[in-house]
Amino acid sequence: MITCKVCKNQEYIGAIFCSECGSAFLAEHHLDDDTVVYPRKEGDPNYRDIPHPEKSIPKGKIALYLPDYETYLDLPEENEFTLGRLIEGQVITPEVDLDPYDGFENGISRLHATIRMNPKKNSIQVLDLGSANGTRVNGYEIPANSEVPLTHEDILTLGKLHLKVIIPEKYRS
């Protein structure tokens, strides 16, 4: 059996993705019994080293810091929310509007990505919603309509907009 490092779900040897949280298993999963963790990609800006000002994060919630704007995003209290650009007359709108952060110029789609927190499994994932300019974790592009895990101080890039992920202690492995 393979144990998912993100949600601790058990899968049969040969599984490519965890059926519970969607994390990808390494190609050598039969040897290492491991899941994919996105290290910082060489040549990608090292935003992990940029200090973020201390902020009281609501218990069990995630924070997203924009290093280029030196500010935190105001996030909803829900365990799932969508990031994108709010356009007047848009029928389906994102919970977090990135237009004030040069959303159009940074290549943010109207509905770009969703962040999901699962308190029962102590996991956080990002899902690209088929955005035009892609979503990256630590410089690695994630496939459209795929969930990948987020860890503390990962750099989430939507289009050209960098977000430093601050995860509460209880979600860290």
How much is the pLDDT for 40? 57
Q: What is the pTM of this model?
A: 0.71
Domain of residue 14: give its range.
Answer: 1-36
How much is the pLDDT for 156? 95
Q: What is the mean pLDDT of residues 75-91?
A: 92
How much is the pLDDT for 34? 43
124 and 89 in a common domain: yes
How many structural domains is the chain composed of?
Answer: 2
What are 98-107's contacts with CB under 8 Å, separation 24+?
Answer: 98/73, 98/158, 98/161, 101/66, 101/69, 101/161, 102/161, 103/161, 105/160, 106/158, 106/159, 106/160, 106/161, 107/132, 107/133, 107/158, 107/159, 107/160, 107/161
133 and 59 in a common domain: yes
Structural domain includes residue 77:
yes
Structural domain includes residue 42:
no
